[in-house]
Amino acid sequence: MKPFAYTRAETVEAAIAAEGALLAGGTNLLDLMKIGVAAPDRLVDISRLPLAGIEEVAGGLRIGAMARNADIARHPAVLARFPALAEALLSGASPQLRNAATAGGNVMQATRCSYFQDPASSCNRREPGSGCSAIGGQTRNHAVLGWTEGCIATHPSDMCVALAAYDAVVMIEGPGGRREAAMESFHPLPDAAGAGPAPLSPGEVITDIRLPDPGGMARNARYVKLRERTSFAFAIVSAAAALDLRDGRIAAARLALGGVAARPWRCRVAEQALVGQPATTESFARAAELAVQGARPSGDNAAKIELARRIAIRALSLAADGTPDRLAALPASVFAGENNG
Amino acid sequence: MADVINTQGHVRLGSNAGQGLTRRDGVLKVTGAATYAADNRPEGLLHAVTATATIARGRVTHLDVAAAEAHPGVVKLYTPDNVPPLAVSPDEKIHPFVWRMEALQSDRVRYAGQPIALVLAETLEAATEAARLLAPRYEAETPHVTLDDAEPFETTTTAFGRPADHSSGDIGKARATAARHVVAEVETVAQYHNAMEPHAIVARWTGDRLEIDTPNQAIGLARQTFAAFLGIEPAQILIRSPFLGGGFGSKAILYGGQLLAVLAARDTGRPVKLVLRRDQMYGPVGHRAPTRQRLRLDLDEDGRIAALQHDTLTMTSSFDHFLEGASNASHSLYATAALQTTHRGLRADIGTPGPMRAPGEAPGSAALEVAMDLAAQAAGLDPLAFRLRNHAETDPSNGMAFSSKALRECYAQAADLFGWADRPAEPRRMRQGQLLKGWGMGSAQFPCPMFTAAAHATLRADGSAVVETSAADMGQGAWTALAQIAADGLGLDIDRVEFRSGHSDLPDAGVAGGSGHTATAGTALFNAGADVVRRLVDLATGDPASPLFGAGNSGVTARGGRLHRNDDGRSEAYEDILARAGLDMLRGEGTGAREGQPTRAMFSHGAVFAEVLVDPDLGQIRVSRLVGAFAAGRIINPRLARSQLLGGMVWGIGFALQEEALHDARTGRFTNNDLAGYHIPVNADAPMIEALTVHEDDPFVNALGIKGVGEIGVTGTVGAIGNAVWHATGLRSQRFPIHPESLILSGESL
Ligand SMILES: Cc1cc2nc3c(=O)[nH]c(=O)nc-3n(C[C@H](O)[C@H](O)[C@H](O)COP(=O)(O)OP(=O)(O)OC[C@H]3O[C@@H](n4cnc5c(N)ncnc54)[C@H](O)[C@@H]3O)c2cc1C
Ligand code: SF4
């Protein structure tokens, strides 16, 4: 691997000023460096920044960017009030990875597009203007929503799907000061020429993630993830859903899809259509139809559209059933609800 | 002898074999104290890294050697222009386990991932970066990497020289009498071994003596191979391979990179270490090629198979020959009046395939068991009843009687434990909550080969012993099971036996492959121990001072470190016999091999029953229960054997539902060559899995009655899972692995 300088930032200001690639848990960045996709001149280790806290704030939550995925998933407030986030986190990667991976790193993790990961392939995301090798290639984990000829990659995070559904806000500090961005639009969609702009400007650091009070949705929220391997596998498609039910009717709804687009795909139209409806499969089916409106295969992956529609229905139905008191042994698995050994 | 009655070459083992001892190397492994090849760091070590081709076919036209050499820490760089030559042609086949030795012979690229240069540097990081700085340029040609576009070629053989085609009985006549037939078409995909431990080598020359640390499944053969290609004598080479972090067949064969590391060590005069990265294990170190199989089963009125035809299309590399012998799986399992099997080969721009987890049998069994299910359905019979009706009393491919075959007991025991009798005949009849539930089964069969092995046993003055053979422990438990057999050969408690293994200065233990290692090396060890006991008995019974004097060798039993008279029970300790004879040790030798042409068909058998749950909307499949019963001759260590069988069944889950190496057909490059992308099962994928062993005495397979348990678990399992998916959903997948997408293609919920 290319030689690089290493510094450790003790403060956020120092991290901003250091002008290097930020190293948090390293579970993604170091892999990319090893395969020659990332080749930073300088690594700025931010893992010791005092940003690992998880705090309840006015019914909501503030998750520090350095909080480990495992710690977030097991935090009592997350389990009690944001259970779909816990499920999403526990469905991701492996215990070892979750112990190392941070919230900020999870948000900023790179796509798993195999052409992005292969320096011998042209890739607009890696090298703007070089073209997209994924088109016409192996596209099982590629987008069916919001893609362009410029890039058909998906964002692979499970956590971000739940965060988008929970209306999370990403807090950012940079050379130009503080700003915030809604999780659901934090990751830019591709444009005609390529992957679109970077989500962060040079020097910007994610400091924390804010979750507003889930209100009446706290115990009607689920995350469901489809994958052939029960653990240690990215989603083929996934969905986070939360409902505020009043007397069997839906007062408010949240729905986001994963594995389908370059960002967690928040389905606002579907959510609105659910408001005032009874919490029935029919309502959910209509909403799911709206959720995948405009979806198109980006290759040999048309089945994902149908799967995304169905997993939206599933997540909404499970949310309507209520979050179980105990987290399932197979978090987010479609088999989690059944007694299957 | 040695607590053994010798009846027509059939041997009764003593008190060590048959016990479920835990692994003797277990503590070393769980504490990290076990030394694997890459853990060796000799003084002055250089790190080697290969640069690999990113095209699958063409020529390397330029390497930026200057840039790579200028990188700090780089010591030496080899390309086809300066690589030291091999002593013999790279195509030399000095034994059947040699593939073409690709060691930078030319600028030609024949597969993606082919090594095209080797960099040596003071650190791994420097070597890695220099390999990247080579920035190869190519003259690329259009590659062919799929069954659809690769080049057909003429061949008369499949893997290891077996005939490509077989025919017995009159298939035309048999078909003419048949009432109906079914056709099954099944595709299987490219799979890669993905042993946890990557291929690694540390090579060090001291004068003209070569020391090699490398994980290897056939240490003796590897030494011959190294010697031949280096132009030295095998005796000049010491290979250490005490532990393998998995092999699965890919470490039975040496590949060019290992030889390059040795050449580089000789050339530079410094020890060299080469460890492959995970992605570099996709190409040069073998894999299982995809297959396209077609089976036709003709049935008579009673549901008996009148004719069985099994055709396989598969592929190999452009420069060597290994064809997955899938159709051979149909030779010996089910009775049929007429049998016809064929293999056709394609040449593709891929690395040479090799033996992997039941080569031939695994994909062949998968297709055969799917075909059997279809045929059962056509015959209107329960799948188990149909298999029993077509139970082979003799091997249909050659008419031989089986050496032993407790398959009926396997069916009965596994079916009983599973609860098969309650299975509804029609698909889509069972639910668990919202989930579809289905049951399927398959028969398991695996041959019982033996290789050639030798062993020594030495009884020491204190009555303890040391036994020696260069066996390979890939995690299967050779350190333990072989020691148990050796102890019984000696008539000693296992705690009194030191087992030396895993390096090439010891007697050759043959290949740890083909599920024949315990049988082969075990026989050699047993015989070595028995040889010691024979000498001891001669000493004692001929010595008037011994209580055993005059007992005759048939009147003596060796047990617990003593020789016992059978008539009056008097006994004497080994150490006392040695002491009186004035010996400080007594040495015996033994070999293990199958003598002459077999006159019986020799196979392990089994039955596997699978339950799957399928999500009707999302198509996700879960193997919720897997029950197997296996008849595999004498079980030396039930704990280890069970683990082997369970492991094989887990391979079956991977084969049926997960494992698939993906190429980009345009470039021939892989798109999932890492453990995140290439899925093998995790614990959570196997919630309830059980393997029983069924008692089986086999007086023919070898004197100890040992068959083998290493690979049989995968046979039967893949088909059982596929058939269970059908039973749950009513859909027959024509391809393994079965992906959720393929089940929801119809657009409807299941
Ligand atoms: C084998 C494997 C399987 C996986 N499976 C899953 C899965 O199923 N689901 C899933 O969701 N994820 C999965 N992951 C991804 C995993 O979640 C991410 O690798 C992890 O979350 C990244 O966090 P990190 O702290 O290690 O980030 P790092 O690797 O340290 O950094 C990743 C990126 O984020 C940037 N970054 C980090 N922190 C900040 C910050 N505070 N501000 C700005 N930029 C920052 C870094 O500069 C870098 O570009 C898997 C990963 C692996 C290796
Ligand atoms: S899909 Fe996007 S990330 Fe993948 S190769 Fe194309 S441009 Fe690159």
Global ipTM: 0.96
Mean pLDDT of all residues in B525-533: 97
Within 438-457 of B, beta carbons closer than 8 Å to A belong to none
Instruction: Tell me the helices (H) and strands (E) count for chain B, helix number first.
Output: 15, 29
Please give the distance, rounded to the nearest whole angstrom, from the Cα atom of residue A131 to the centre of ligand 2: 8
Spatial distance between the Cα atoms of B438 and B489, rounded to a whole number of angstroms? 47
Token readout for B152 is: 């057909």
Nearest to B618 among A120, A136, A311 (CB): A311
CB B457 within 8 A of CB B528: yes
Which residues of chain B make contact with A118, given a CB cutoff of 8 A? 54, 669, 671
CB burial readout A201-218, b (16+ within 10 A) else e: eebbbbbbbbbeebeebb
Spatial distance between the Cα atoms of B646 and B295, rounded to a whole number of angstroms? 28
Closest ligand to the CA of A124: 2
The continuous run of DSSP H or E covering B647 comes out as helix B638-657
Please give the distance, rounded to the nearest whole angstrom, from the Cα atom of residue A114 to the centre of ligand 2: 8
Q: Is B151 a catalytic residue?
A: no
Our mutation pick for probing the ligand 2 site, out of A152, A154, A189, A260, counting the most ligand atoms within 8 A of Cβ, is A152
Are A230 and B435 inside 8 Å of each other by CB? no
Mean pLDDT of all residues in B262-271: 98
Please give the distance, rounded to the nearest whole angstrom, from the Cα atom of residue B491 to the centre of ligand 2: 66
pLDDT tens digit sequence for B413-454: 999 999 999 999 999 999 999 999 999 999 999 999 999 999
- Give the Cβ contact number of residue A225 at 10 Å: 31
CB B452 within 8 A of CB B429: no
Spatial distance between the Cα atoms of B155 and B146, rounded to a whole number of angstroms? 19
Average pLDDT, chain B: 95
Spatial distance between the Cα atoms of B672 and B663, rounded to a whole number of angstroms? 8
Within 272-311 of B, beta carbons closer than 8 Å to A belong to 277, 279
Our mutation pick for probing the ligand 1 site, out of A109, A126, A158, counting the most ligand atoms within 8 A of Cβ, is A109
> What's the pLDDT band for B15 if we cut at 50, 70, 90?
confident
Spatial distance between the Cα atoms of B228 and B504, rounded to a whole number of angstroms? 16
> What's the pLDDT band for B747 if we cut at 50, 70, 90?
low
CB A207 within 8 A of CB A172: yes
H-helix segments, A52-203: 69-73, 76-81, 83-90, 95-100, 103-108, 159-165, 183-186
Concatenate the DSSP letters of all residues of B460-491 into one string. ETTS-EEEE-----SSS-HHHHHHHHHHHHHT
Ligand 2, residue A135: give the atom nearest the CA: 6
Spatial distance between the Cα atoms of A127 and A194, rounded to a whole number of angstroms? 9
Residue A178 class from Cβ within 10 Å (0-12 exposed, 13-18 middle, 19+ buried)?
Answer: exposed
Backbone angles phi, psi at B459, to 5 degrees: -85, 130
Cis peptide before A175 (omega within 30 of 0): no
Residue nearest to atom 2 of ligand 2 (CA): A151
Spatial distance between the Cα atoms of B200 and B48, rounded to a whole number of angstroms? 10
Half-sphere exposure of A159 (CA within 13 A, CB side): 27
Token readout for B219 is: 């240490």
Q: Residue B653's closest chain A neighbor by CA?
A: A229
Concatenate the DSSP letters of all residues of B497-524 into one string. EEEE-SBTTSPP---S-TT-HHHHHHHH
Concatenate the DSSP letters of all residues of B47-68 into one string. EEEEEE-SSSSEEEEE--HHHH
Please give the distance, rounded to the nearest whole angstrom, from the Cα atom of residue A308 to the centre of ligand 2: 21
Token readout for B227 is: 């010697």
- Give the Cβ contact number of residue B67 at 10 Å: 14
Which residues of chain B make contact with A138, given a CB cutoff of 8 A? 662-664, 671-672
Mean pLDDT of all residues in B230-248: 97
Spatial distance between the Cα atoms of B738 and B733, rounded to a whole number of angstroms? 7
pLDDT tens digit sequence for B180-208: 999 999 999 999 999 999 999 999 999 99
Distance from CA of A28 to the nearest CA of B (A): 12
Size of interface A-B (CB pairs under 8 A): 116
Per-residue confidence (pLDDT) for residue B398, from 0 to 100: 97
- Give the Cβ contact number of residue A73 at 10 Å: 21
Ligand 2 contact via A115 beta carbon (within 6 Å): yes
Which residues of chain B make contact with A312, given a CB cutoff of 8 A? none
Distance from CA of B654 to the nearest CA of A (A): 9
Q: What is the mean pLDDT of each run of 10 residues along chain A (341 residues)?
A: 92 96 98 94 97 95 98 97 98 97 98 97 97 97 98 98 98 97 98 96 97 97 96 97 96 98 98 98 98 97 96 98 92 78 41
Torsional class of A90: left (φ above 0), alpha (ψ -120 to 50), beta (otherwise): alpha
**Of B271, B281, B404, which is closest to residue B700 (Cα–Cα)?**
B404
Interface test with B, best of A317, A334, A339 (most B CBs within 10 A): A334
Mean pLDDT of all residues in B442-468: 98
| Cα-based torsion angle of the residue sequence A324, A326, A332, A335 in order, rounded to the nearest 10 degrees | -80
Please give the distance, rounded to the nearest whole angstrom, from the Cα atom of residue A115 to the centre of ligand 2: 6
Question: Going from the N-terminus, what domains does chain B have, and what CATH number goes with each?
Answer: 5-27+475-592 (3.30.365.10), 37-142+193-281 (3.30.365.10), 401-450+597-750 (3.30.365.10)
User: Given a cut of 70, is residue B3 above it in pLDDT?
Assistant: no
CB A108 within 8 A of CB A34: no
Token readout for B310 is: 């099994």
Please give the distance, rounded to the nearest whole angstrom, from the Cα atom of residue A39 to the centre of ligand 1: 16
Mean pLDDT of all residues in B547-566: 90
Nearest to A136 among B615, B666, B739 (CB): B666
Our mutation pick for probing the ligand 1 site, out of A11, A12, A27, counting the most ligand atoms within 8 A of Cβ, is A27
**Of B459, B461, B460, B454, which is closest to residue B501 (Cα–Cα)?**
B454
CB A242 within 8 A of CB A83: no
H-helix segments, chain A: 12-18, 29-34, 69-73, 76-81, 83-90, 95-100, 103-108, 159-165, 183-186, 268-274, 281-291, 303-321
* Ordered strands of the B556-559 beta sheet: B556-559, B562-565, B571-573
- Give the Cβ contact number of residue B196 at 10 Å: 11
Ligand 2, residue A121: give the atom nearest the CA: 5
Which residues of chain B make contact with A3, given a CB cutoff of 8 A? 125, 129
Q: How many residues does chain B have?
A: 750
Cα of first residue to Cα of last residue in chain A, in angstroms, is: 45
CB A252 within 8 A of CB A159: no
Segments of B122-179 assigned E as strands: 137-140, 151-153, 166-168
Distance from CA of B57 to the nearest CA of A (A): 15
Token readout for B210 is: 């070569």
**Of B327, B455, B456, B448, which is closest to residue B397 (Cα–Cα)?**
B327
Token readout for B672 is: 């999932």
Torsional class of A181: left (φ above 0), alpha (ψ -120 to 50), beta (otherwise): beta
Q: What is the CA radius of gyration of chain B?
A: 27
Distance from CA of B116 to the nearest CA of A (A): 15
Are B618 and A133 inside 8 Å of each other by CB? no
Ligand 2 contact via A124 beta carbon (within 6 Å): yes
Residue B70 class from Cβ within 10 Å (0-12 exposed, 13-18 middle, 19+ buried)?
Answer: exposed
**The one catalytic residue among B690, B711, B741, B748:** B711
Spatial distance between the Cα atoms of B509 and B526, rounded to a whole number of angstroms? 13
Are B740 and A228 inside 8 Å of each other by CB? yes
CB A86 within 8 A of CB A159: no
Contact residues of ligand 1, CB 6 A cut-off: A 21-29, 31, 46, 65, 69, 92-93, 97, 100-102, 104-106, 108-109, 156-159, 200, 205-206, 234; B 676
